[in-house]
Amino acid sequence: MSQKETLTRYLFSKSEFSNYSSDNPQLVRIKPCALAPIINKNTGSLETSVFCTTEYTPKKVIEVGVGYVAAARQKELIASVSFSAELVSKVELRVDPDGIGHADHCNIVDWPPTKQDWLEKSRDLADSITAHESKIFIKQ
């Protein structure tokens, strides 16, 4: 996958991000828990689900989030964050475009095996996403 690709993580809890500017509510800090991996029951590997949304319009990002991701999880979409695949590589993780369930589905993989280590990686990635002022959508 190209480093220039845009990835989107869909968020389903307000605990996954926080506003850090009362002047501009669009300035949002992504919390590490929003990017923390889960164990894939089929492979046993640690993965964080994202979508490759490089060619998406902002409207399509939300349509996929609501119509596909939220519907599949039976949860309400609260927000999404879009960021460069390059940020994933910078924290020594990798994007695996698996297309499982949706053609644009990918996983962030190569997480370290210990919780302490993957928490550190998710913190580094969250900080990098926040620092680069990535695109945020928050449902009003």
Q: Strand, coil or helix: what is 14?
A: helix
- Torsional class of 34: left (φ above 0), alpha (ψ -120 to 50), beta (otherwise): alpha
- The stretch 35-56 carries a mean pLDDT of 95
Query: Are the CB atoms for 82 and 64 separated by under 8 Å?
Result: no
pLDDT at 23: 64
| pTM confidence score | 0.89
Answer whether residue 1 is part of any domain. Answer: no
Which structural domain, as residue segments, surrounds residue 46? Answer: 6-138
Answer whether residue 118 is part of any domain. Answer: yes
- With a pLDDT cut of 70, the percent of the chain lying above it is 88
For the chain, the domain total comes to: 1
Answer whether residue 65 is part of any domain. Answer: yes
